Amino acid sequence: MSIANIKTEILSAMEAACKTVFGQRPQNLNLNYPPKVEFGDFAVGCFPLAKQFRQNPANIAQSIAAEIQPNESIQNVTAVGPYVNFKLHSSLLFGDVCTEIRKKKAFDNNNLGNGRRVMVEYLSPNTNKPLHLGHIRNGVLGMGVSNLLEAAGHTVIKANLVNDRGVHICKSMLAWSKWANGDTPESTDTKGDHFVGEWYVRYNQEAKKSPQLQEEVQAMLRKWESGDPATIKLWEMMNQWVYSGYEETYRRLGFAFDVFYYESNTYTLGKDLVQIGLHKGVFNEAASGAVIAPLPTDEFGAEKDGSQKVVTLLRNDGTSVYITQDLGTAKLKFDDHQPDRSIYVVATEQNYHFQCLFKLLNMLDFEWADGCYHLSYGMVNLPEGKMKSREGTVVDADDLIEEMRQLAEDEIRRRDTENTLSHEEIQKRALAIGLAAIKFYLLRTRPELDINFDPKESISFDGFTGPYCQYAYARCASILRKSKNRGLASIEPDYSLLGNTEELELLRVLIQFPDVVAEAAGEFTLARICNHVFAIAQAVNQFYHRHPVLAAEPATLVAARLALVSASAVVIRNSLALLGIEALEEM
């Protein structure tokens, strides 16, 4: 029997008991998990029934529990306070869970999304500087949400909207053409994005001394917009340097995209939508000549003087602004890929922008506007305050990865006392562990919270971390490897021999996995996955510590514990995969 069937059976038993006792079907029953293994495997709270039948929930629980008879699945039913707790025959539950997980390589979760299409836009960097820690937070969130939705049966289209034009880009271009003397990433042996970033910093240094540089930058932007061949050529060359650098960083971090949009192609979009809005009468022309959209007071409040809030869509010279372009891009995305949902992974400082954007799409009567969602995440702060790329107070993505990789490598070498590991193996593990530490650290808290990142204290490998979860997996893998040489494959597991506290705890967290994935996918909360995979890893480590697997007696118990270990390994590996973290066979 599958876990889903077991749950259905419990709810049916509840229903039948309600009919017998109260003569009515129960409403709104939810299957939950008791807080402690001693209470049982599943629980149903009787609070909705208390309302429905106007009785004390504890009394209801009592009479229902007395009504449900044990059978081949249910071992016993007890009322504890307002809860009806179900204890199942452990041989059945362990057997079903282990078999189901191993057969399907995890639980079956892919019916939730029903094939709905979701576009996830994330990262969207500016091509004038390298990626920093804030981008990593964005990227792991974007990849994580994509993985999660895919695992839940959605078709996901991952998009990167590259901000490849504008004054900021011209700044590095101007600095390079003035002072670089033809240096290139190759000639200086510098990663392309870092190379360009250095010229961006140089510009900002020089601009402090020579304010007239600002005018030169504006002039360069005008030349770019008029299509001046030399300017375009310079722009293409420097962007190419940045892209080659980015690609390396993406590869290391496991960021992938199905589609790239470039702002140089999209920045003129949206003007036609402004015309539609004017025609509909939802936008209008201000006295200054700019085109504006009034925002409904009930949702946006009013200005200080009590007047209605507005957003500008076209400047009084007729040129478009950021939100105009985003209107156009939103429609372009829909026309290109027909997503049912369009998720924007963008920092929290743009909350108001997206609130406006989605409202404007709604005012334009796009029926897909309701599917737009801003997945907003907080800033990453340093001990000295906000990260500012102009002032160089950023944690560079490549530097951080290298630093964490190095710390992991030190740790690996410290425990490899016999020098048995190859250089390649050490490098592979060190990178995987370092990345696990970073990604888990960034995903384990709710996205809307700001993160204070202290480079000195760095990110830990102990406790509630990615490496801890990897370690639990490696222990499982190690046991499974060793079991292969011992001719255990033919032995039939006796699941009735399982049932100690640690085994029950492990079973408990494994059973909950599909529900956790479903909830996490519904709310886009990777932190739930972090919490849960950590709970499983904890249960594995506790079990590992107290109960031998390979040395257990009799062999049928060995087989049963092996099945449990194998199932745990599958769920940990799958959970880590959702987080973009590699499960290592050895650590």
Helices (H), 364-422: 397-415
Q: Is the peptide bond before 554 cis (omega within 30 degrees of 0)?
A: yes
Q: Which is nearer to RNA, 51 or 104 (CB)?
A: 51
Q: Which is nearer to RNA, 334 or 534 (CB)?
A: 534
Q: Which is nearer to RNA, 377 or 495 (CB)?
A: 377
387-391 own/partner pairs: CB under 8 Å, 24+ apart:
387/132, 387/133, 387/134, 389/129, 389/132, 389/197, 389/200, 390/201, 390/204, 391/204
Within 13 Å of residue 458, how many CA atoms lie on the same side as its CB? 17
End-to-end CA distance of the chain: 36
* In the complex, least distance from residue 263 CB atom to RNA, rounded to whole angstroms: 6
Q: What is the DSSP string of 243-310?
A: HHHHHHHHHHHT---SEEEEHHHHTTTTHHHHHHHHHHTSSEE-TTS-EEEE--HHHH-B-TTSPBPE
* In the complex, least distance from residue 338 CB atom to RNA, rounded to whole angstroms: 26
* In the complex, least distance from residue 349 CB atom to RNA, rounded to whole angstroms: 3
Query: What does the block give as tokens for 261?
Result: 């949009």
* In the complex, least distance from residue 119 CB atom to RNA, rounded to whole angstroms: 20
State the pairing for strand pair 341-347/372-377. Answer: parallel
Q: Which is nearer to RNA, 339 or 467 (CB)?
A: 467
State the pairing for strand pair 74-80/341-347. Answer: unpaired
* In the complex, least distance from residue 122 CB atom to RNA, rounded to whole angstroms: 16
Q: Which is nearer to RNA, 180 or 292 (CB)?
A: 292
Q: Which is nearer to RNA, 244 or 445 (CB)?
A: 445
* In the complex, least distance from residue 142 CB atom to RNA, rounded to whole angstroms: 18
Cβ burial of 149 (10 Å; 0-12, 13-18, 19+) is: buried
Within its chain, how far is the Cα of 404 from the centroid? 21
* In the complex, least distance from residue 411 CB atom to RNA, rounded to whole angstroms: 4
User: Residues 132, 134, 140, CA angle at the centre, nearest 5°?
Assistant: 105
State the pairing for strand pair 284-285/291-294. Answer: antiparallel
Q: Which is nearer to RNA, 16 or 527 (CB)?
A: 527
CB 506 within 8 A of CB 93: no
DSSP lists the bridge partners of residue 262 as 162
Could you tell me the CA-to-CA distances from 427 to 252, 410, 423, 584, 587 in Å, in that order? 12, 11, 6, 13, 12
* In the complex, least distance from residue 313 CB atom to RNA, rounded to whole angstroms: 8
User: Residues 204, 206, 208, CA angle at the centre, nearest 5°?
Assistant: 75
DSSP 160: E
Q: Which is nearer to RNA, 47 or 243 (CB)?
A: 47
Q: Which is nearer to RNA, 100 or 470 (CB)?
A: 470
What 3-state DSSP class applies to 108? coil
Q: Which is nearer to RNA, 80 or 180 (CB)?
A: 80
* In the complex, least distance from residue 125 CB atom to RNA, rounded to whole angstroms: 11
In angstroms, rounded to a whole number, what is the distance separating the alpha carbons of residues 165 and 461? 40
* In the complex, least distance from residue 388 CB atom to RNA, rounded to whole angstroms: 11
- How many residues are given for the chain? 587
Q: Which is nearer to RNA, 333 or 429 (CB)?
A: 429
* In the complex, least distance from residue 191 CB atom to RNA, rounded to whole angstroms: 23
Within 13 Å of residue 251, how many CA atoms lie on the same side as its CB? 6
Q: Which is nearer to RNA, 65 or 156 (CB)?
A: 65
* In the complex, least distance from residue 452 CB atom to RNA, rounded to whole angstroms: 6
* In the complex, least distance from residue 24 CB atom to RNA, rounded to whole angstroms: 18
Q: Which is nearer to RNA, 1 or 421 (CB)?
A: 421
* In the complex, least distance from residue 354 CB atom to RNA, rounded to whole angstroms: 10
Q: Which is nearer to RNA, 265 or 350 (CB)?
A: 350
Q: In what order do the strands lie in the sheet with 83-88?
A: 31-32, 42-45, 83-88, 74-80
DSSP 373: E
From the list 33, 30, 6, 178, the residue with the least C-alpha distance to 99 is: 6
